[in-house]
Amino acid sequence: MLGPSDQDKDFPYWLVIVGVTVAWLFYEVLANDIYSQTLTTLLRGLWTTVYVTLIAYAGASALGLLLALAMMSRFIVVRQAARLYVEVMRGVPIIVLLLYVAFVVAPGMVEGWNLLAAQIGLEPVRTRDFPLIARAIMALVLAYASFLAEVFRAGLQSVDRGQIEAAESLGLNGWQRFRHIVFPQAFRTILPPYGNDFVAMVKDSSLVSVLGVADIAQLGKVTAAGNFRYFETYNVVALLYLTMTIGLSLILRRVEMRLRARTHR
């Protein structure tokens, strides 16, 4: 079996194939008016896709880390509550969770706020004042936090217990041990799956189109329904997603190689 360093020496034939395909699509975009018009339209949704991905993944990372720490708590109630959340959220399809948050949780939150507002003399709000993009981001945060919680937990538990005990003997408190000893080492371990989940978030952000959020997928659907050029339109949609995901994968792989080389020095 080849080791990681041997695999890194492989010539990237797969990248050549993807590069040729993407180059052909870009050529069609430049040479074909239909492609260029479609790209111009879809680029308006690119920023929505990037915004949803970054905000949702940052929120999911923070919540996932808290859940991972809760699953490692000394208190059984905290551990079991975190485990219940993770197992339930991982068992529900993201699109179902998205619809549930958008049409059940969000209206419930608005109703709860209105009850509180009536008690303290504030103006009530309407359910339609709760933006759909905010509901979509909330659902993605709740879903991905359950996956990232397991990633963080595995990384934190991979740190040698002896190093933590040594830090305790030096007088470092819990936060200092986590910041200087545990998390830096755990991060090297979790980087590959953490990066993979980020790439997956880019793709799963397209699910927000079911709520009418104007991302790449939604604008592609609307454009194809208007011009009946499904082949050209979805070629451009695929081109945009491939460019983002392949680019991110290459960047993350480069970072992983550098961290591995630094560790082996």
Amino acid at 160: D
pTM score of the predicted model: 0.84
Sequence ranges of the domains in the chain: 25-263
Confidence of residue 265 (pLDDT cuts 50, 70, 90): low
Confidence of residue 3 (pLDDT cuts 50, 70, 90): low
Domain 25-263 class, CATH top level: mainly alpha
Q: What is the pLDDT of residues 121-174, one digit of tens each?
A: 788 888 888 899 999 999 999 999 999 999 999 888 887 777 777 777 777 777
Is residue 216 within 8 Å of residue 241, measured between CB atoms? yes
For residues 205 and 209, give the distance between their C-alpha atoms in angstroms, rounded to a whole number: 8
Q: What is the pLDDT of residue 228?
A: 87
Residue 7 has pLDDT above 60, yes or no: no
Residue 4 has pLDDT above 70, yes or no: no
Alpha carbon distance, N-terminus to C-terminus of the chain: 23
Residue 104 has pLDDT above 90, yes or no: yes
Q: How many helices (H) and strands (E) would you count in the chain?
A: 12, 0
